[in-house]
Structure 1
Amino acid sequence: MRLTEIEFNDSKPVDGYGPGFFRIGGKLIEGPVVTGPSGTRSWGGLDDTETLLAFAGEVDVVFVGTGADVAHLPDALSEAMETAGIGVEPMSSPAACRTYNVLLSEGRRVALALLPI
């Protein structure tokens, strides 16, 4: 079996998650978090649209983890992202982590916003 090491550039993969926390690129972050080409930081949640809009021109899609279960995004968030030309995909936070990691490993232009499980 041959293993090939992946380079993630400035974006970091999700290493793990649990009740109230995420581990991204080896760094433990409690509460909601956003990560992408410009780094990893705390996030204000679904009402914090400006943080996600900052990805305009950097990413094609932002995966939004809505916690333990998938939930609809607020209309204002979906509309703002569409206007900015950024795709947005809501899913459960565990599914969002997995999807982000796979597409990141393929070199895709993706970002991730997560609510804790």
Structure 2
Amino acid sequence: MRQPPSIDAYGDGGFRVSGVWRPGSLLILDDSPQDWPVTALAQLGLGHFAGVIAAGAAVSEFVLLGTGATQALPPREIREALRAARLGLEFMSTEAAARMHNVLASEGRRFATALIAV
């Protein structure tokens, strides 16, 4: 099992993950950070979670979603698809989710992190 990456900083349109600056939004799945093409909650679609759903509960218990500058309810189709895949969903502002990611990673939890850059 890999060491979960830490989110060291966020803002200015990106994230510093384990010491490496990554511009844009971020998806961490199976402890691997990757670019995530979402720039606003309004554009979030089911396809943005295809990899998370395909990996399923073997990789993640739930998705930690950072919804941008403020907490907002994700679209119903996202909530229902994750529930159908037996994946939980925790959503909050990106700032709160970035901090929560580090706490959950230190506890050894299995989860996917999806953060909309601010």
TM-score range, shorter chain: 0.7 to 0.9
Report the Cα offset of residue 100 of structure 1. Answer: 1.2
Deviation track 1:75-107 (CA, whole Å, cap 9, x = no partner) reads 111111111111111100010011111011011
Give the TM-score taking structure 1 as reference length. Answer: 0.85
Correspondence list, 1:19-98, <5 A: 19-45=12-38, 46-47=44-45, 48-56=48-56, 57-98=58-99
- Residue segments in structure 1 that go unaligned for 5+ positions in a row: 1-7
| Contact 1:11–1:36 (8 Å) recurs in 2 | no
Moved more, 93-102 or 28-37: 28-37
Q: Supply the AA of the counterpart residue of 1:58.
A: V
Give the TM-score taking structure 2 as reference length. Answer: 0.85
| Contact 2:7–2:102 (8 Å) recurs in 1 | yes
Aligned match of 1:14: 7
Report the Cα offset of residue 26 of structure 1. Answer: 1.7
CA distance in 2, matches of 1:14, 1:55: 22
Distance 1:58 1:20, change over 3 A: same
Aligned residues: 110
CA distance in 1, matches of 2:51, 2:30: 13
Question: Which structure's CA Rg is the greater one?
Answer: 1
Q: Which has the higher helix share?
A: 2
